[in-house]
Each structure stands twice: as structure tokens, then as C-alpha cells.
Structure 1
């Protein structure tokens, strides 16, 4: 697959393809023409000697410092070196690859005043699998993701570090040489154009939206299996119930759960039993309302990200009429708010999941399942401590759900006196989603164990498939075993496509 970067932007799926599936990248002729046109305007400004921020002046608090023509290329190189001031562990490869593609996208819009060769240099890094070493700390999310993008730009110059195959730090000069590439020299405006933008936080937000879409569906699966194992009722999930409160996400989750719970001998065994069929606990009955609200939040975040994909977040911008204007479009508030909102939503999916796990393990509330889902409780502890693990993760997610975007620390001599913290919001969102994957794994393990213990009653088709796929991993109810490797493998089943695909092949597509 090759992603073609056009002068009108790219699609969300393009970002995932390049970041995670190593798709190749090419710049269209139309995008090259757009960049050439905007560069011609910058060249005219250079010849006229007009004072323009970032072209003939310094940056930030030094915006009023005039730079002599013969030092303007030096200015751009100095900018990159000084702003590549991050610290900490390197960001994951997929995030950096997404960042670079998004910066190519921004330059290709034709409002940044760079030569096409600058954008092509970023494309060359992507296509030769050269990933800059970008430290995790450094961005405040206003003036964009300055430090992270500067670490990428530094590699274009043949300086800095890249990620080695084994995670080691490798000299950028050596990596470029091995790929048959050389560093480039920057001209006026080009260094600034490489680092002024929201590409880091947008990269993480887009990847998070991709991940959460899958996890929302898996949350419906684990909830349905838990409810089935606890002899719950499917009546609260009937479409007629949700038509009278028409939140789209709620309707989608309820429809998934209703579909998953059909054709179950376990459900049929108590369908007319008032003790079981009248009213389940909130963590069971309200699952679509919580997961559905998260789905609607996800749609909001996707809308924000889609807008940003066709936006120019550079500063200053080169307009077709020849003006070069300073803007505030680099401010990350829209993305920071969306990332924080998603973290809240994802944390709640995990919180209600853990409540179902606790109910499954409690003999006083699980409707005749053995304590901690162990057939020989006492000598054996079953899944007791797996729920401890889930509880600890829920607590961490609650802390991470506190918004980063309400914080600000003034910088650059008070010139940049309000910042978005969008990078921090997006980065902690990734941790929340990683934690959510683990929480759903604990619920999936508990639900499948509960369904196994309902034998000889047969579960729904979805439950049967889950049992068939997970039994080789988790075994059958019996004496305690080493739990950590089992949890890791169940977590992989939650994160990957195989289990969900097998269930959909049996019951039909899920939303």
C-alpha cells in the first residue's frame, strides 16, 4: 500500500497504515506544485527585505530581533538544534511515524513556504524505516509540539539520534548513510515550518481513536459474556428500550449485547425466573449506557481529529495572495480537550467492567457460581487476585482521567503565556487505553471461566467461541495455576482481531 499525500490532506486510515502497517508514502504532483507556489512567496519576501516573523526575525520572545539575510539559514538550523531539547524514554515507533506523516501532510497543504525537498526528506525517512528518537517529555502543546518535531527535523539535517532495530539509540548520520541518504540544509522559514504544529498530539489522538473503536466492541463482548455467566437477562438490551432514549452509541452497544446473548441455553434456563429476570445490577443493566456514552465521545474525538487533518497548524502561514500572517492555529486546545474527554470515557468503560468482575467472583452475588470461580475454593483462590489487579488498574485510570488540558505553564518570557498540554493529554490517553485492554482481559477471563462452570448448560454462540478459543490458554476449572502468563495471553486476545472476527463470523457484524 502507498499513501499519496495530496494538498487537501489525508484520511485517518492513512495514518494507521503508515504508522502501524509500514505503508509507503508518496507526494502527489499537485502537492509539490502547492509547495512550490508558497515557497516562491517566501523567496519574494527575502528579496524585498520585508520583516516577517520566522523568515527575517527570531522566534518566540525574540520575535522582534531582526536577522540579517546572510544568517537566516543559520537561524533555521539553530532553531532545530535548540528546540530538540526533549528528555526521557523514546516515544513508540508508531507515534513518531504518524507524526512525520502528519508533518508531510501539513507541508503539502502549500501554506508553509518550504521547498518540496523538505517534505520529501521526511518521506524518505518513512520509506527507509528510519525513526527519529523522540523523547517523551518536551511538548506543552502550544506553538505545537515543538520539541518532539524538532527531534524529527534534526534527523533530516543528519544530526541527532534514531531508534535502532533493538530499541538502541543510533546516530542519525550513520542511519542515513546506511540507507543511502544524506542530511539536508534548511533555508529561511523551513526550520520553523518543520516544528510548528500539532502533529504529535494529533498522531496519538488518531491512533487512540483507532484503538478505542476496537475496545468499545470488545467491551460489549465481555459485558455480554459476563451477564450470561451471571444468569442475567437480555431484556434491558432490546432495541425498543433504546429507541426511547436515542443516543447513537447507547443504541449500538445495546444492539451488540442483545445479539450476543441470543441462542443461549444458559439464558433460556432462567428466562421466566423472577429472581433472575426482573432487574440486574447497574454494572450489568447499564452497560450500554456507559459504553454507549463512550462511543459518542469517540465520535466527537474523531470529528475533531478529522477537522485537524485538513487544517493548517503552522505559524506563520503563507497565503496565496502573498501575505505571511502570524496565527494561533498551532494551539492544541481542540486536541487536548478531545484526548482528555476520551480518557474519561475509556476509564469508565474499565471501571464498570471491573465491577462485573467483582460480581462474578463473589458467591453472594454471582448466582450460584463458586467463590472466586474456583471449584475448590479455600485451598485454591481462583481469580481472587486477578480482581485485585483490575482494581489497581481502575484506580490508576481514575488518576489519569484527570484532565491535562486545564493546566498551563507560561513559557518563552511570557510570550507563550497559555499552553494546551495537548501532548500530555494524548500521551496519558494511550496509557488509559493500554490499561483498559488489561481490564477487559480480566473480565474476559472471568466471564469465560463462569461460562465453563455453567456446564452442562450451553452458552450463546459468542460464548461458545470464546470458550473454544480461550480454553487452550486458560484451561478448565481446577486447581490454581500461574496466572500472569494466562492474563498476558488473554490480553492479546482482547487487543487482537482474531477472537472478535470469529465471534462476528458466527453472530454477524457488531458495531
Structure 2
């Protein structure tokens, strides 16, 4: 008899100064978790706000963004009776986003990361502001945010301003999936707009949460794509009747790169027990796109690990400005909002994942070339049928686009705020192009899987490993063998979706 468990009773992500792990962030999205600050975070937020209120009573003191203007207007002191108006004006004047709407999953990550940052008690916000952000998230009220507008240096100003507008009853939200004015959504919940106090506007819009959220989403996607790239490559190895020698552990140990060693091990595991792999081969060597899978995939895996470490450091950081240290009696203005660590590594992730697609397309090309006993373009009656000729064209076009997307954003900088903000990271552009590139990599791998499965069926009745036989069984439930020309767009879409959803258990060497 199965016991029914109420997951909602504990299905939330606790947010405070304790470090989050990548697995927790993935669970937040995969299991639609709620968010909540802890009692410890609540106390730290309250203490910081009380300290800032005390400092505001000191006459003649100027604190950047607390009782002064912003950016180039830093030397303009604002009177106490205008503080709320100052913070309101900051949010509305900086809500200058354009372009496509930020996807919901990334908006959710942005909100979680903003709450996480505020939970450290170095930002000076009032507790009601943090609670409202939590309530919005947990009630399915997600701000409409636009992908263009951030320079990735003064924080992600424009995107985070759009995130903050609903606190004031402004802007738009998706409330339980329906797009509406924020004022209407607040009315449905019987919520009053938040009246911002000193420093709160800056605390909300200074920070790297736009770049960080995109990066985390891309890393989550990349993790699945890297796993599937190895599996699909193993199927291509079988379909192309390749040699096993390039995956022998001895040659990888003497080079020593961990990603390379791990990839060779994974490929051997995927091919363990295969009849086809054990058959004698006629060729002495295979093309690089097969022979060098451990070296290429491995380099991308090592890059992934590095980028993940950088982004998780940022998750567990405070990136607004100025920063408040009640215990040290300090209010310090600096530049933690500068996105350079993220910008450089988003560019790096683009390059690493682009290579996964680049080598994949080359395997697709080899499979349709009429070699190793396979028919030209993997179809019967080639000539009458074009077979798998054009999916490779599509893959090639996407790989070419990826090369353009790998042009680094982080090497650019355009001065702003009357040259006060004279070096910016352009990390937001790095983030949005990385998102597009991840979608492209998934498409190219989908085309390789479609092609490899078609090629592999020409090897029947020979058997491959249990892992790959299971892959073929599940894939053929979604995409049947191609006997004659048909609209392949549908097959390609189904193959791409298959990659996104396929659960792969870690294989073991036999």
C-alpha cells in the first residue's frame, strides 16, 4: 500500500547566508519549489535596516544612494522628506528594458537570487520588501522583464527595475499564467504597494541577478546536453562501426585531463557488451570527430566545471551597492555589482558548448557520406529519395551561427552615466547569447541522434550494448525509421524534445 505524502509541507528552498548548492537550484525549477527566508535571515535583515535608520538621523552625512543621487549625480544630497520619492524615481526611471521577454524559468531564478542576496543583511532593505518578493514568487506572480537594457556593470539595472516595478504596483506581471497590470494583480491579492525606504531602490536594482540567472539556467541545460552528447556520440560510434582503441584508458591517463579521462570511461561504459564494437574492423583509424571525442567533449566538461564554480560563488554573494556592515559600523560604496566574472565565463561557456555542437555536426556529416557500408544519405533508393541530406545542412547552418555567438561580449565596454561608469562588463549580452547558443546545441545534437539512429538500424540484426539498445528502443517510440522521404522537421523536433527529457543513469564498466 502506497503512502500519500504532502510535499507542499516542506517543498521549499530556504534562503539565508548559508551557501546554496547547484543541486538545490535545479530542484527549485524541476520540482516547482517555493522559497522562504529563514529566521536567521529575517533577523539579519531587520538588524541592518535598524542600523541604517539610525545612520539616517545623523545630520550632514552623505551616503551614496541612501541620501544622494545616483551615478554621476552622486554629489547631490537628498533631504529626508524626499527619500521615498528618490527610491521610487530610481525604479521607474531605470525601467528601460526592451526586446524579448525573459523566460519564466529565468525570471524565477532572478527573484530567488534577489531574495537570497537580500537575506545576508548587508543591503538595508525593510523586511516587508523581502516578504513581498517571497509572496509574489510563492503565489505565481512573476514580473514581465525584458532581455535588453543591461550593461552588466552597475548591476543589471534595467531588468532588475522591471522585476521591482510590481512592488510599487507598476509594470506588468504574469499572475498564475495570465499577463496583467501589476496593480490588478495586487488588487486580487489585497496587497498594498510597498513604500520604499532609503537605499531600497539601489538594493533592488544593483546586483548581477539577471546575468547569474541566465548563466545558471544555461549551466543546467549544459549539464544535460553534455551527458546526452556522450550517449549520442556512442551511438554514432556504433553506427559508423568505429574502433575502440581511441577510448583505451592508458592513452588518457598519460595526458591526465580529467574531463578527457571521464569521457573515455563513459564511452567505454556505453559500449560495454556490444557485438558491433567487438567485430573486426577494416580501417586503421577513424576520423577525428570520432577518435577525439574524449579530448573535445572532455575539454568542454572541464570548462563547464570551472564556469559552474564561478556562478555558484556568485549565487552565494552580495552584489548590490553600497554595502552595509552593522557590526563594523560601516557603509561602504564599492563595485560588487560589476559583472566581469560572469561575463568572461559566459563567453567561455559559449565556446565550450559550441564545440560540443561543432564536433556533433561533423559526425552527422560522416554518417550520411556513404562510407562503412552505409547507404548515401542513409536512405533506400537514394536519388529518388534525398534522405538525411538536408538535416546536415540545418546542423551546419546552426553551427555557423554558434561561431558568431561565440564572439565574446566581455571584451566590449561602452562608457555611460557621463563617464562615471566608464568600464562595463556587457555580461547581460553574454548571458542572452549563451541562452540562444544552448538551444542551438540541443538542436544539433537532436539532428545527430536522428541521423545516428537511422544509420544504426542499417547495422541490424547485430546488437549493441544494453545502454544503447535501451536508447534505441525509447527513441523509436518517438521517431520511426525513415523508409522514404517525409517531412523531417517533425522528426527533428521530436528528437530535440527527446534529448531534453531523456533520463540517463550513470553506466558502469563491465
Q: Give CA-to-partner distance per residue, 1:488-511, whole Å, 9 cap, x none.
A: 11111111134x24xx5xx4499x
Q: Identify which range, 91-100 or 35-44, moves more after superposition.
A: 35-44
| 1:224 alignment counterpart | 234
| 2:125 alignment counterpart | 114
Q: Helix, strand or coil for the counterpart of 2:382?
A: coil
| Distance in 2, Cα, partners of 1:509 & 1:128 | 47
Matched, 1:152 2:163: yes
Is there any run of 5+ residues in structure 2 with no aligned partner, and where?
1-10
Superposed displacement of residue 428, structure 1: 0.8
Q: Helix, strand or coil for the counterpart of 2:35?
A: strand
Q: Identify which range, 196-205 or 237-246, moves more after superposition.
A: 237-246
| Distance in 2, Cα, partners of 1:284 & 1:496 | 25
Q: Give CA-to-partner distance per residue, 1:418-469, whole Å, 9 cap, x none.
A: 1101111111111111100011111111111111011121222233122211
Contact 1:53 1:316 in 2 (8 A): yes
| 2:149 alignment counterpart | 138
Superposed displacement of residue 323, structure 1: 1.2
Q: Identify which range, 385-394 or 111-120, moves more after superposition.
A: 111-120
Matched, 1:10 2:6: no
| Distance in 1, Cα, partners of 2:189 & 2:451 | 49
User: What CA RMSD, in Å, does the superposition of the two structures yield over aligned residues?
Assistant: 1.6
> Which of residues 295, 298, 301 in structure 2 aligns to 1:295?
301
Contact 1:410 1:418 in 2 (8 A): yes
Matches within 5 A, 1:417-436: 417-436=422-441
Q: Identify which range, 406-415 or 174-183, moves more after superposition.
A: 174-183
Contact 2:269 2:509 in 1 (8 A): no
Matched, 1:76 2:81: no
Superposed displacement of residue 37, structure 1: 1.5
Matches within 5 A, 1:236-275: 236-270=246-280, 273=281, 275=282
Q: Give CA-to-partner distance per residue, 1:28-55, whole Å, 9 cap, x none.
A: 1110111111112211111003111011
Give the number of equivalent residue pairs.
498
Matches within 5 A, 1:488-507: 488-498=493-503, 500-501=504-505, 504=506, 507=507
> Which of residues 150, 175, 186 in structure 2 aligns to 1:176?
186
Going from structure 1 to structure 2, the CA distance change for 1:94 and 1:390 (only over 3 Å counts) comes to same
> Which of residues 380, 391, 395 in structure 1 aligns to 2:385?
380
| Distance in 1, Cα, partners of 2:73 & 2:18 | 33
Is there any run of 5+ residues in structure 1 with no aligned partner, and where?
none
Superposed displacement of residue 476, structure 1: 2.4
Contact 1:448 1:466 in 2 (8 A): no
| Distance in 2, Cα, partners of 1:414 & 1:96 | 31
Matched, 1:52 2:63: yes
Matched, 1:42 2:38: no
TM-score, scaled to structure 2: 0.95
| 1:356 alignment counterpart | 363
Q: Give CA-to-partner distance per residue, 1:78-137, whole Å, 9 cap, x none.
A: 000001111122100011110011011111111001111111111111101111000111
Matches within 5 A, 1:401-416: 401-416=406-421
| Distance in 2, Cα, partners of 1:234 & 1:179 | 63
| 2:4 alignment counterpart | none
| Distance in 1, Cα, partners of 2:509 & 2:340 | 36
| Distance in 2, Cα, partners of 1:70 & 1:182 | 21
- Structure 1: 4+ residue segments shifted above 6 A: none
Contact 1:354 1:387 in 2 (8 A): yes
Matches within 5 A, 1:299-448: 299-319=305-325, 320-363=327-370, 366-448=371-453
Q: Helix, strand or coil for the counterpart of 2:66?
A: coil
| 2:5 alignment counterpart | none
Matches within 5 A, 1:76-95: 76-95=87-106
Contact 1:315 1:329 in 2 (8 A): yes
Superposed displacement of residue 399, structure 1: 0.4
Contact 1:128 1:179 in 2 (8 A): no
Q: Helix, strand or coil for the counterpart of 1:283?
A: helix
| 2:36 alignment counterpart | 26
Contact 2:408 2:430 in 1 (8 A): yes
Contact 1:451 1:459 in 2 (8 A): no
TM-score, scaled to structure 1: 0.95
Q: Give CA-to-partner distance per residue, 1:7-64, whole Å, 9 cap, x none.
A: 2343333333334532111111110111111112211111003111011100001101
Q: Helix, strand or coil for the counterpart of 1:112?
A: coil
Going from structure 1 to structure 2, the CA distance change for 1:287 and 1:117 (only over 3 Å counts) comes to same
Going from structure 1 to structure 2, the CA distance change for 1:341 and 1:3 (only over 3 Å counts) comes to same
Q: Give CA-to-partner distance per residue, 1:177-198, whole Å, 9 cap, x none.
A: 2234332110011111001000
Q: Give CA-to-partner distance per residue, 1:249-285, whole Å, 9 cap, x none.
A: 1111111111111212222222xx3x32x32111001
Q: Helix, strand or coil for the counterpart of 1:413?
A: helix
| Distance in 2, Cα, partners of 1:4 & 1:55 | 29
Q: Identify which range, 234-243 or 57-66, moves more after superposition.
A: 234-243
| Distance in 1, Cα, partners of 2:380 & 2:34 | 53
| Distance in 2, Cα, partners of 1:185 & 1:74 | 9
Contact 1:5 1:25 in 2 (8 A): yes
Superposed displacement of residue 305, structure 1: 1.0
